[in-house]
Amino acid sequence: MDLQDLVIPEGVIAHLKVTSKKQALQELAAKAAQVTELDERKIFETLLERERLGSTGVGQGIAIPHGKLASLDKLHGLFARLDHPIDFDSVDEKPVDLIFLLLAPESAGADHLKALARISRLLRNQKMVEKLRATENNEALYALLTEPSASATSVA
């Protein structure tokens, strides 16, 4: 699965200005509503519900909030680089500055898991993470996320 199948240029935010996890999820839900044409409140509630099960802050300053919505017809991803790291209740207790949001149809099953694994692989690549943190505009972030080497399954 290529990230260009998940993320569109409008789904990338280079400078997200938030001060809390809740505010980050609200802002991302608003952006996701624009991209998916779904109800912002429903997206936000789905993300909060998932966070109640356990934080999606995976460590190393990265969070991968995700959820399933019945009204979606395909997987959607959004990426945000935060201006200032925030507490996300991450497993390593470090603040988060990179967030990759994934929304999937309720029927997605294995595709949802494959997409999460793909995103996780990408964000475990330290060189890629350094590039994402150093990039200041939406277009360059999108190019990094969707470049062929980012989509290679050999990314460790």
- Active-site residues, by number, are 66
Identify whether the C-beta of residue 69 lies closer than 8 Å to the C-beta of residue 42: yes
Interacting residues of 145 by C-beta distance below 8 A, sequence separation 6+: 3, 4, 7, 12, 79, 122, 132
- 38 alpha carbon, distance to own chain's centre: 17
Question: DSSP letter at 57?
Answer: E
Instruction: Tell me the CA distances in angstroms from 106 to 70, 93, 103, 109, one per residue in order.
Output: 5, 30, 9, 7
